[in-house]
Amino acid sequence: MNYFNNNNNYFKNPILPGFYPDPSICRVGEDYYLVTSSFAYYPGVPIFHSKDLVHWEQIGHVLDRPSQLDIEKVEQSRGIFAPTIRYYNGTFYMITTNVSTGGNFIVTAKDPAGPWSDPYWLDAPGIDPSLFFDEDGRAYYVGTRPAPEGEKYYGNWEIWLQELDLNTMKLVGETYSLWRGSMRDVDWPEGPHIYKINGLYYLMISEAGTGHEHAITIARSENILGPYQGYKGNPILTHRHLGRNYPIVNVGHGDLVETQNGEWWMVLLASRPYGGYYRNLGRETFLVPVTWENGWPLVSPGTGKVEDTYPVPNLPQKIYGAKANCDNFEGKKLGLVWNTIQTPKVEFYSLTQKPGYLSLKLSPYPITGLEAPSFVGRRQQHINFAAFTAMEFEPQSEGEEAGLVLYQNRRFNFRFTYILNNGKKLVKLVKCSNGLEETLAEKEPSSAKLYLKIEANGQAYSFSFGETCDDYTVLADSVDGRILSTDVAGGFVGAYIGLYACSNGKDSENYACFDWFEYHEL
Protein backbone atom coordinates (compact mmCIF):
# COMPACT_ATOMS: atom_id res chain seq x y z
CA MET A 1 0.00 0.00 0.00
CA ASN A 2 1.43 3.38 -0.99
CA TYR A 3 0.94 5.99 1.71
CA PHE A 4 2.59 8.82 -0.26
CA ASN A 5 0.69 11.25 -2.46
CA ASN A 6 1.70 11.88 -6.06
CA ASN A 7 4.78 13.97 -5.34
CA ASN A 8 5.95 11.83 -2.40
CA ASN A 9 6.27 14.88 -0.15
CA TYR A 10 3.22 14.04 1.95
CA PHE A 11 1.90 10.88 3.54
CA LYS A 12 -1.67 9.79 4.23
CA ASN A 13 -3.24 8.72 7.52
CA PRO A 14 -3.90 6.20 8.93
CA ILE A 15 -0.52 4.51 8.54
CA LEU A 16 -2.06 1.19 9.67
CA PRO A 17 -5.69 1.09 8.49
CA GLY A 18 -8.16 -1.22 10.13
CA PHE A 19 -8.23 -2.69 13.64
CA TYR A 20 -4.74 -1.77 14.93
CA PRO A 21 -5.38 0.03 18.26
CA ASP A 22 -3.15 1.16 21.14
CA PRO A 23 0.07 1.57 19.11
CA SER A 24 3.44 1.61 20.84
CA ILE A 25 6.72 2.41 19.12
CA CYS A 26 10.47 2.29 19.72
CA ARG A 27 13.53 3.19 17.65
CA VAL A 28 16.76 1.19 17.46
CA GLY A 29 19.29 3.15 15.42
CA GLU A 30 17.60 3.77 12.08
CA ASP A 31 14.93 1.09 12.56
CA TYR A 32 11.45 1.56 14.02
CA TYR A 33 9.25 -1.11 15.58
CA LEU A 34 5.57 -0.87 16.40
CA VAL A 35 3.07 -3.14 18.18
CA THR A 36 -0.70 -2.94 18.70
CA SER A 37 -3.39 -4.62 20.78
CA SER A 38 -4.92 -7.90 19.56
CA PHE A 39 -7.59 -8.74 22.20
CA ALA A 40 -8.98 -12.29 21.58
CA TYR A 41 -7.26 -12.91 18.24
CA TYR A 42 -4.39 -15.38 17.85
CA PRO A 43 -1.47 -15.02 17.23
CA GLY A 44 -1.35 -11.93 19.40
CA VAL A 45 0.36 -8.52 19.26
CA PRO A 46 1.31 -7.94 15.62
CA ILE A 47 4.74 -6.35 15.27
CA PHE A 48 5.82 -4.09 12.40
CA HIS A 49 9.09 -2.64 11.11
CA SER A 50 9.70 0.66 9.30
CA LYS A 51 12.53 2.86 8.16
CA ASP A 52 10.50 6.01 7.41
CA LEU A 53 7.60 5.90 9.95
CA VAL A 54 5.14 5.88 7.04
CA HIS A 55 5.48 2.47 5.42
CA TRP A 56 5.31 -0.53 7.74
CA GLU A 57 5.89 -4.21 7.13
CA GLN A 58 4.61 -6.82 9.54
CA ILE A 59 7.50 -9.03 10.62
CA GLY A 60 5.62 -11.34 12.97
CA HIS A 61 3.49 -11.65 16.06
CA VAL A 62 5.04 -11.28 19.50
CA LEU A 63 2.71 -13.90 21.02
CA ASP A 64 2.67 -16.79 18.57
CA ARG A 65 2.69 -19.85 20.87
CA PRO A 66 0.01 -21.19 23.22
CA SER A 67 2.54 -21.01 26.08
CA GLN A 68 2.60 -17.22 25.61
CA LEU A 69 -1.07 -16.59 24.93
CA ASP A 70 -3.84 -18.51 26.68
CA ILE A 71 -7.17 -17.10 25.55
CA GLU A 72 -9.89 -19.72 25.62
CA LYS A 73 -13.65 -19.19 25.84
CA VAL A 74 -13.30 -15.41 26.08
CA GLU A 75 -15.35 -12.62 24.55
CA GLN A 76 -13.82 -10.82 21.59
CA SER A 77 -12.91 -7.64 23.48
CA ARG A 78 -11.03 -9.50 26.23
CA GLY A 79 -7.55 -11.02 25.96
CA ILE A 80 -4.58 -8.76 25.18
CA PHE A 81 -4.81 -5.04 26.04
CA ALA A 82 -2.40 -2.19 25.25
CA PRO A 83 1.13 -3.54 24.68
CA THR A 84 4.26 -1.41 25.02
CA ILE A 85 7.49 -2.16 23.14
CA ARG A 86 10.87 -0.91 24.35
CA TYR A 87 14.55 -1.65 23.63
CA TYR A 88 17.29 -1.61 26.22
CA ASN A 89 20.88 -2.83 26.23
CA GLY A 90 20.52 -5.29 23.36
CA THR A 91 17.11 -6.68 24.31
CA PHE A 92 13.57 -5.95 23.15
CA TYR A 93 10.86 -5.91 25.82
CA MET A 94 7.11 -6.16 25.22
CA ILE A 95 4.85 -5.68 28.21
CA THR A 96 1.07 -6.05 28.16
CA THR A 97 -2.00 -7.35 30.00
CA ASN A 98 -3.91 -10.55 29.39
CA VAL A 99 -7.11 -9.43 31.07
CA SER A 100 -8.60 -12.91 30.70
CA THR A 101 -5.75 -15.07 32.04
CA GLY A 102 -2.81 -14.10 34.21
CA GLY A 103 -2.75 -10.31 34.16
CA ASN A 104 0.39 -8.27 33.42
CA PHE A 105 3.51 -9.85 31.91
CA ILE A 106 6.72 -9.21 29.96
CA VAL A 107 8.26 -11.12 27.07
CA THR A 108 11.73 -10.48 25.66
CA ALA A 109 13.64 -11.08 22.42
CA LYS A 110 16.98 -10.35 20.81
CA ASP A 111 15.37 -10.29 17.38
CA PRO A 112 12.06 -8.38 17.18
CA ALA A 113 10.83 -10.84 14.53
CA GLY A 114 11.08 -13.52 17.19
CA PRO A 115 11.17 -15.87 18.85
CA TRP A 116 10.01 -14.06 21.97
CA SER A 117 10.31 -15.60 25.42
CA ASP A 118 7.54 -17.14 27.42
CA PRO A 119 5.88 -14.66 29.80
CA TYR A 120 7.46 -13.28 32.92
CA TRP A 121 4.34 -12.76 35.05
CA LEU A 122 4.24 -9.71 37.30
CA ASP A 123 2.50 -9.18 40.61
CA ALA A 124 0.92 -5.96 39.42
CA PRO A 125 -2.70 -4.83 39.59
CA GLY A 126 -4.44 -2.96 36.81
CA ILE A 127 -3.82 -2.70 33.08
CA ASP A 128 -1.87 -0.78 30.39
CA PRO A 129 1.67 -1.43 31.65
CA SER A 130 4.71 0.34 30.23
CA LEU A 131 8.45 0.20 30.90
CA PHE A 132 11.01 2.94 31.43
CA PHE A 133 14.79 2.39 31.51
CA ASP A 134 16.65 5.21 33.25
CA GLU A 135 20.18 6.39 32.58
CA ASP A 136 21.43 4.89 35.87
CA GLY A 137 20.47 1.38 34.73
CA ARG A 138 17.32 1.11 36.82
CA ALA A 139 14.11 -0.08 35.20
CA TYR A 140 10.56 0.86 36.14
CA TYR A 141 7.07 -0.46 35.61
CA VAL A 142 4.38 2.18 35.13
CA GLY A 143 0.71 1.29 34.81
CA THR A 144 -2.83 2.20 35.78
CA ARG A 145 -4.75 0.78 38.74
CA PRO A 146 -7.82 1.51 40.88
CA ALA A 147 -7.33 4.47 43.22
CA PRO A 148 -6.33 3.43 46.77
CA GLU A 149 -9.49 4.87 48.36
CA GLY A 150 -11.63 2.64 46.17
CA GLU A 151 -13.63 3.24 43.04
CA LYS A 152 -15.86 6.04 44.28
CA TYR A 153 -16.97 6.45 40.65
CA TYR A 154 -16.50 4.32 37.52
CA GLY A 155 -13.00 4.96 36.15
CA ASN A 156 -11.53 6.41 39.37
CA TRP A 157 -8.04 5.03 38.71
CA GLU A 158 -4.48 6.34 38.98
CA ILE A 159 -1.09 6.04 37.33
CA TRP A 160 1.45 4.25 39.49
CA LEU A 161 5.08 3.12 39.37
CA GLN A 162 7.33 0.44 40.84
CA GLU A 163 10.92 -0.59 40.19
CA LEU A 164 11.57 -3.70 38.06
CA ASP A 165 14.55 -5.99 38.77
CA LEU A 166 15.78 -7.02 35.31
CA ASN A 167 17.71 -9.98 36.72
CA THR A 168 14.70 -11.63 38.33
CA MET A 169 12.04 -9.92 36.20
CA LYS A 170 10.14 -9.14 39.39
CA LEU A 171 8.77 -5.89 40.78
CA VAL A 172 10.66 -4.74 43.87
CA GLY A 173 10.39 -2.03 46.49
CA GLU A 174 7.61 0.42 47.19
CA THR A 175 4.84 1.42 44.82
CA TYR A 176 4.29 5.10 44.07
CA SER A 177 1.17 6.95 43.00
CA LEU A 178 2.19 9.38 40.25
CA TRP A 179 -0.80 11.14 38.72
CA ARG A 180 -4.56 10.98 38.25
CA GLY A 181 -4.78 12.98 35.07
CA SER A 182 -5.27 16.59 34.12
CA MET A 183 -8.80 17.15 35.44
CA ARG A 184 -10.48 16.62 38.78
CA ASP A 185 -12.46 13.36 38.84
CA VAL A 186 -11.11 12.33 35.45
CA ASP A 187 -12.30 8.99 34.05
CA TRP A 188 -9.79 6.28 33.21
CA PRO A 189 -6.28 7.76 33.36
CA GLU A 190 -4.53 5.03 31.34
CA GLY A 191 -1.99 4.17 28.66
CA PRO A 192 0.96 5.76 30.54
CA HIS A 193 4.45 6.19 29.06
CA ILE A 194 7.44 7.88 30.71
CA TYR A 195 10.17 9.67 28.73
CA LYS A 196 13.29 11.48 29.96
CA ILE A 197 13.95 14.61 27.92
CA ASN A 198 16.52 17.25 28.80
CA GLY A 199 16.78 15.98 32.36
CA LEU A 200 13.01 16.00 33.04
CA TYR A 201 10.65 13.04 33.32
CA TYR A 202 7.53 13.35 31.17
CA LEU A 203 4.48 11.21 31.90
CA MET A 204 2.07 11.02 28.96
CA ILE A 205 -1.29 9.30 29.40
CA SER A 206 -4.78 9.06 27.95
CA GLU A 207 -7.95 10.11 29.75
CA ALA A 208 -11.73 9.91 29.59
CA GLY A 209 -12.00 6.38 28.20
CA THR A 210 -11.33 5.16 24.70
CA GLY A 211 -14.58 6.46 23.20
CA HIS A 212 -15.48 9.83 21.69
CA GLU A 213 -14.13 11.82 24.69
CA HIS A 214 -10.65 10.23 24.47
CA ALA A 215 -7.75 12.64 25.04
CA ILE A 216 -3.96 12.67 25.54
CA THR A 217 -2.48 14.64 28.44
CA ILE A 218 0.98 15.11 29.91
CA ALA A 219 2.78 15.99 33.14
CA ARG A 220 6.44 16.30 34.11
CA SER A 221 8.74 16.05 37.11
CA GLU A 222 12.39 16.48 38.06
CA ASN A 223 12.20 13.13 39.88
CA ILE A 224 10.81 9.93 38.41
CA LEU A 225 8.90 9.37 41.66
CA GLY A 226 7.22 12.76 41.37
CA PRO A 227 5.57 15.00 42.16
CA TYR A 228 4.31 15.45 38.59
CA GLN A 229 3.09 18.83 37.37
CA GLY A 230 0.35 18.73 34.79
CA TYR A 231 0.71 20.92 31.70
CA LYS A 232 -1.57 23.97 31.72
CA GLY A 233 -2.19 23.39 28.00
CA ASN A 234 -3.74 19.93 28.53
CA PRO A 235 -5.07 18.05 26.71
CA ILE A 236 -2.25 18.08 24.19
CA LEU A 237 -4.47 16.22 21.73
CA THR A 238 -8.20 15.41 21.51
CA HIS A 239 -11.01 15.55 18.97
CA ARG A 240 -13.90 15.46 21.42
CA HIS A 241 -14.59 19.17 20.87
CA LEU A 242 -14.89 18.72 17.09
CA GLY A 243 -18.20 16.87 17.20
CA ARG A 244 -19.41 13.52 15.98
CA ASN A 245 -19.57 14.59 12.34
CA TYR A 246 -15.81 15.11 12.18
CA PRO A 247 -14.11 12.50 9.94
CA ILE A 248 -11.54 11.42 12.57
CA VAL A 249 -12.76 10.70 16.11
CA ASN A 250 -11.83 9.14 19.50
CA VAL A 251 -8.20 10.28 19.26
CA GLY A 252 -5.91 9.02 22.03
CA HIS A 253 -3.51 6.39 23.40
CA GLY A 254 -0.28 7.78 21.95
CA ASP A 255 3.43 6.99 22.14
CA LEU A 256 6.31 9.34 21.28
CA VAL A 257 9.47 8.65 19.31
CA GLU A 258 12.47 10.83 18.39
CA THR A 259 14.08 10.12 15.03
CA GLN A 260 17.80 9.87 14.44
CA ASN A 261 17.50 13.30 12.81
CA GLY A 262 16.02 14.95 15.89
CA GLU A 263 12.36 15.10 14.81
CA TRP A 264 9.58 14.02 17.16
CA TRP A 265 6.52 12.06 16.11
CA MET A 266 3.58 10.47 17.85
CA VAL A 267 1.71 7.29 16.94
CA LEU A 268 -1.82 7.12 18.31
CA LEU A 269 -5.20 5.53 17.76
CA ALA A 270 -8.26 7.11 16.17
CA SER A 271 -11.28 6.00 14.15
CA ARG A 272 -12.93 7.02 10.88
CA PRO A 273 -16.73 6.82 11.19
CA TYR A 274 -18.83 6.43 8.06
CA GLY A 275 -22.51 6.07 7.28
CA GLY A 276 -23.15 8.04 10.47
CA TYR A 277 -21.22 7.60 13.70
CA TYR A 278 -20.30 3.98 12.97
CA ARG A 279 -16.76 2.65 13.14
CA ASN A 280 -16.60 -0.75 11.45
CA LEU A 281 -12.84 -0.45 10.98
CA GLY A 282 -12.28 -0.11 14.70
CA ARG A 283 -9.47 1.98 16.13
CA GLU A 284 -6.62 2.51 13.67
CA THR A 285 -3.00 3.71 13.93
CA PHE A 286 -2.23 7.32 12.91
CA LEU A 287 1.00 9.35 12.81
CA VAL A 288 1.33 13.05 13.73
CA PRO A 289 4.30 15.43 14.06
CA VAL A 290 5.36 16.91 17.40
CA THR A 291 7.48 19.94 18.23
CA TRP A 292 8.44 21.41 21.60
CA GLU A 293 7.69 24.85 23.05
CA ASN A 294 8.76 25.99 26.50
CA GLY A 295 9.52 22.43 27.52
CA TRP A 296 6.15 20.97 26.50
CA PRO A 297 5.10 19.00 23.40
CA LEU A 298 3.05 20.68 20.69
CA VAL A 299 1.15 18.00 18.79
CA SER A 300 0.26 18.63 15.13
CA PRO A 301 1.54 22.23 15.20
CA GLY A 302 -0.68 24.82 13.59
CA THR A 303 -3.93 22.86 13.80
CA GLY A 304 -3.78 20.86 17.02
CA LYS A 305 -5.72 18.00 15.46
CA VAL A 306 -4.97 14.83 13.55
CA GLU A 307 -4.84 15.56 9.81
CA ASP A 308 -5.37 13.28 6.83
CA THR A 309 -1.99 14.23 5.37
CA TYR A 310 1.33 15.65 6.61
CA PRO A 311 4.76 16.32 5.14
CA VAL A 312 6.82 13.15 5.35
CA PRO A 313 9.38 12.70 8.14
CA ASN A 314 12.95 13.66 7.39
CA LEU A 315 13.94 10.04 6.92
CA PRO A 316 15.13 7.97 3.94
CA GLN A 317 12.07 6.54 2.24
CA LYS A 318 11.64 2.78 2.49
CA ILE A 319 8.71 1.41 0.50
CA TYR A 320 8.27 -2.33 0.91
CA GLY A 321 7.26 -4.51 -1.99
CA ALA A 322 3.54 -4.40 -2.75
CA LYS A 323 1.57 -7.02 -0.88
CA ALA A 324 -0.36 -9.39 -3.11
CA ASN A 325 -4.11 -8.90 -2.97
CA CYS A 326 -4.62 -12.63 -3.40
CA ASP A 327 -3.43 -15.42 -1.08
CA ASN A 328 -3.15 -18.69 -3.03
CA PHE A 329 -2.35 -20.68 0.13
CA GLU A 330 0.81 -22.13 -1.40
CA GLY A 331 3.15 -21.53 1.55
CA LYS A 332 3.97 -23.76 4.49
CA LYS A 333 2.47 -21.30 6.98
CA LEU A 334 -0.45 -18.92 6.96
CA GLY A 335 0.49 -15.36 6.08
CA LEU A 336 0.91 -12.85 8.88
CA VAL A 337 -2.34 -11.11 7.93
CA TRP A 338 -4.38 -14.09 9.19
CA ASN A 339 -5.71 -14.78 12.69
CA THR A 340 -7.88 -17.29 14.48
CA ILE A 341 -10.41 -16.50 17.18
CA GLN A 342 -8.79 -17.49 20.50
CA THR A 343 -5.84 -19.86 20.92
CA PRO A 344 -6.46 -23.02 18.87
CA LYS A 345 -6.70 -26.08 21.12
CA VAL A 346 -6.90 -28.52 18.19
CA GLU A 347 -5.56 -28.38 14.64
CA PHE A 348 -8.49 -27.36 12.48
CA TYR A 349 -6.73 -25.95 9.41
CA SER A 350 -4.10 -27.32 7.04
CA LEU A 351 -2.08 -26.04 4.08
CA THR A 352 -0.74 -29.52 3.25
CA GLN A 353 -3.81 -31.77 3.32
CA LYS A 354 -4.69 -30.51 -0.15
CA PRO A 355 -1.63 -28.61 -1.46
CA GLY A 356 -2.45 -25.14 -2.73
CA TYR A 357 -5.59 -24.94 -0.61
CA LEU A 358 -6.48 -23.88 2.91
CA SER A 359 -8.44 -26.82 4.30
CA LEU A 360 -10.73 -26.12 7.25
CA LYS A 361 -12.09 -29.04 9.25
CA LEU A 362 -15.70 -28.54 10.25
CA SER A 363 -15.98 -27.77 13.95
CA PRO A 364 -19.08 -28.38 16.07
CA TYR A 365 -18.67 -24.89 17.50
CA PRO A 366 -20.48 -22.08 15.67
CA ILE A 367 -19.19 -18.54 15.16
CA THR A 368 -21.88 -17.40 17.60
CA GLY A 369 -20.54 -19.36 20.60
CA LEU A 370 -17.79 -18.92 23.18
CA GLU A 371 -15.80 -21.95 22.02
CA ALA A 372 -13.16 -21.29 19.36
CA PRO A 373 -14.71 -21.90 15.91
CA SER A 374 -13.08 -23.18 12.74
CA PHE A 375 -12.33 -19.68 11.45
CA VAL A 376 -9.33 -18.00 9.80
CA GLY A 377 -9.79 -14.27 9.23
CA ARG A 378 -8.19 -10.93 8.43
CA ARG A 379 -9.06 -7.33 9.22
CA GLN A 380 -11.42 -5.17 7.18
CA GLN A 381 -9.09 -2.28 6.35
CA HIS A 382 -11.09 -0.12 3.96
CA ILE A 383 -14.48 1.58 3.89
CA ASN A 384 -14.98 0.28 0.33
CA PHE A 385 -13.61 -3.18 -0.40
CA ALA A 386 -14.13 -6.46 -2.21
CA ALA A 387 -13.36 -9.93 -0.84
CA PHE A 388 -13.48 -13.13 -2.94
CA THR A 389 -12.82 -16.80 -2.38
CA ALA A 390 -13.08 -20.06 -4.32
CA MET A 391 -14.40 -22.91 -2.16
CA GLU A 392 -14.77 -26.64 -2.69
CA PHE A 393 -17.20 -28.10 -0.18
CA GLU A 394 -19.93 -30.73 -0.09
CA PRO A 395 -22.11 -30.63 3.06
CA GLN A 396 -22.77 -34.22 4.10
CA SER A 397 -25.02 -33.92 7.17
CA GLU A 398 -27.78 -31.58 8.21
CA GLY A 399 -26.41 -28.22 9.40
CA GLU A 400 -22.94 -28.55 7.87
CA GLU A 401 -21.86 -25.23 6.37
CA ALA A 402 -18.79 -23.37 5.11
CA GLY A 403 -18.06 -20.05 3.50
CA LEU A 404 -17.34 -16.44 4.41
CA VAL A 405 -18.08 -14.59 7.65
CA LEU A 406 -18.13 -10.87 8.41
CA TYR A 407 -17.36 -10.81 12.11
CA GLN A 408 -17.47 -8.17 14.81
CA ASN A 409 -18.08 -10.52 17.72
CA ARG A 410 -20.07 -13.68 18.36
CA ARG A 411 -23.33 -11.75 18.78
CA PHE A 412 -22.92 -9.44 15.77
CA ASN A 413 -21.90 -10.98 12.44
CA PHE A 414 -22.95 -12.17 8.98
CA ARG A 415 -22.60 -15.78 7.74
CA PHE A 416 -22.44 -16.22 3.97
CA THR A 417 -22.23 -20.00 3.61
CA TYR A 418 -23.11 -23.09 1.61
CA ILE A 419 -25.22 -25.25 3.95
CA LEU A 420 -27.32 -28.39 4.09
CA ASN A 421 -30.54 -26.99 5.51
CA ASN A 422 -33.72 -29.09 5.87
CA GLY A 423 -32.40 -31.49 3.27
CA LYS A 424 -31.57 -28.75 0.74
CA LYS A 425 -28.15 -27.49 -0.23
CA LEU A 426 -28.35 -23.72 -0.16
CA VAL A 427 -26.20 -20.65 -0.41
CA LYS A 428 -27.48 -18.72 2.56
CA LEU A 429 -26.93 -15.30 4.16
CA VAL A 430 -27.65 -15.11 7.90
CA LYS A 431 -27.49 -11.93 9.95
CA CYS A 432 -26.81 -12.26 13.68
CA SER A 433 -27.67 -9.09 15.61
CA ASN A 434 -27.44 -9.10 19.40
CA GLY A 435 -27.49 -12.88 19.28
CA LEU A 436 -30.70 -13.11 17.23
CA GLU A 437 -30.36 -14.79 13.83
CA GLU A 438 -32.28 -13.83 10.70
CA THR A 439 -32.02 -15.41 7.25
CA LEU A 440 -31.75 -12.56 4.75
CA ALA A 441 -31.57 -14.61 1.54
CA GLU A 442 -30.99 -18.12 0.21
CA LYS A 443 -30.69 -19.86 -3.17
CA GLU A 444 -29.88 -23.32 -4.48
CA PRO A 445 -26.66 -23.55 -6.50
CA SER A 446 -25.86 -26.42 -8.85
CA SER A 447 -22.19 -26.94 -8.04
CA ALA A 448 -20.11 -27.89 -5.00
CA LYS A 449 -17.33 -25.54 -6.16
CA LEU A 450 -18.48 -22.02 -5.42
CA TYR A 451 -17.04 -18.56 -5.82
CA LEU A 452 -18.16 -16.25 -3.03
CA LYS A 453 -17.86 -12.47 -3.14
CA ILE A 454 -18.54 -9.70 -0.63
CA GLU A 455 -18.39 -6.07 -1.68
CA ALA A 456 -18.80 -3.05 0.57
CA ASN A 457 -19.67 0.46 -0.53
CA GLY A 458 -19.64 2.23 2.79
CA GLN A 459 -22.26 0.60 5.01
CA ALA A 460 -23.92 -1.14 2.04
CA TYR A 461 -22.61 -4.71 1.79
CA SER A 462 -23.48 -6.99 -1.13
CA PHE A 463 -23.17 -10.78 -1.27
CA SER A 464 -22.80 -12.74 -4.52
CA PHE A 465 -21.93 -16.29 -5.54
CA GLY A 466 -21.00 -18.00 -8.78
CA GLU A 467 -20.07 -21.36 -10.22
CA THR A 468 -17.33 -19.70 -12.26
CA CYS A 469 -15.17 -16.74 -11.35
CA ASP A 470 -16.66 -14.71 -14.20
CA ASP A 471 -20.38 -15.12 -13.56
CA TYR A 472 -21.84 -14.09 -10.20
CA THR A 473 -25.42 -14.11 -8.95
CA VAL A 474 -26.36 -11.48 -6.37
CA LEU A 475 -27.81 -13.14 -3.29
CA ALA A 476 -28.37 -9.93 -1.30
CA ASP A 477 -27.60 -6.33 -2.15
CA SER A 478 -27.18 -3.17 -0.03
CA VAL A 479 -27.32 -5.01 3.29
CA ASP A 480 -26.87 -2.59 6.20
CA GLY A 481 -23.45 -3.32 7.72
CA ARG A 482 -23.68 -1.12 10.79
CA ILE A 483 -23.96 -4.14 13.12
CA LEU A 484 -20.22 -4.55 12.42
CA SER A 485 -19.50 -1.29 14.27
CA THR A 486 -18.55 -1.11 17.92
CA ASP A 487 -21.20 1.61 18.19
CA VAL A 488 -23.81 -1.13 17.76
CA ALA A 489 -21.95 -4.23 18.92
CA GLY A 490 -19.97 -2.72 21.81
CA GLY A 491 -16.39 -3.64 22.70
CA PHE A 492 -13.03 -2.52 21.38
CA VAL A 493 -12.36 -4.43 18.15
CA GLY A 494 -12.90 -3.84 14.43
CA ALA A 495 -14.55 -5.99 11.78
CA TYR A 496 -12.91 -9.13 10.35
CA ILE A 497 -13.55 -11.09 7.14
CA GLY A 498 -12.96 -14.80 7.52
CA LEU A 499 -13.17 -18.31 6.10
CA TYR A 500 -15.41 -20.58 8.16
CA ALA A 501 -16.46 -24.23 8.45
CA CYS A 502 -18.96 -25.60 10.97
CA SER A 503 -20.98 -28.75 11.65
CA ASN A 504 -23.22 -26.95 14.18
CA GLY A 505 -22.99 -29.20 17.20
CA LYS A 506 -22.08 -32.51 15.56
CA ASP A 507 -18.76 -34.29 15.23
CA SER A 508 -17.65 -34.30 11.60
CA GLU A 509 -14.66 -35.44 9.56
CA ASN A 510 -15.67 -33.19 6.68
CA TYR A 511 -13.49 -30.37 5.32
CA ALA A 512 -14.03 -27.21 3.30
CA CYS A 513 -11.16 -26.41 0.95
CA PHE A 514 -10.42 -22.81 -0.10
CA ASP A 515 -8.34 -22.42 -3.26
CA TRP A 516 -7.57 -18.73 -2.76
CA PHE A 517 -8.74 -15.60 -0.99
CA GLU A 518 -8.53 -12.10 -2.45
CA TYR A 519 -9.09 -8.78 -0.70
CA HIS A 520 -8.64 -5.30 -2.15
CA GLU A 521 -9.84 -1.75 -1.78
CA LEU A 522 -12.51 -0.48 -4.14
Residues assigned a catalytic role: 22, 190
SS3 482: helix
SS3 362: coil
Residues 6+ apart with CB under 8 A from 259: 27, 53, 265, 313, 314, 315
Report the 10 Å Cβ neighbour count for 188: 22
Cα(299)–Cα(301) distance, integer angstroms:
6
Cα(12)–Cα(310) distance, integer angstroms:
7
Contact between residue 203 and residue 219 where contact means Cβ atoms under 8 Å apart? yes
Helical (H) or strand (E) element with 488: helix 486-489
How many CA atoms, within 13 angstroms, populate the side-chain half-sphere of residue 224?
20
CA dist list (Å): 164 to 24, 104, 172, 190 = 20, 13, 6, 20
Contact between residue 301 and residue 289 where contact means Cβ atoms under 8 Å apart? yes
The full DSSP string for 45-100 is: EEEEEESSSSS-EEEEEEE-STTT----S--TT-SEEEEEEEEETTEEEEEEEETT
**How does DSSP classify residue 344?**
-
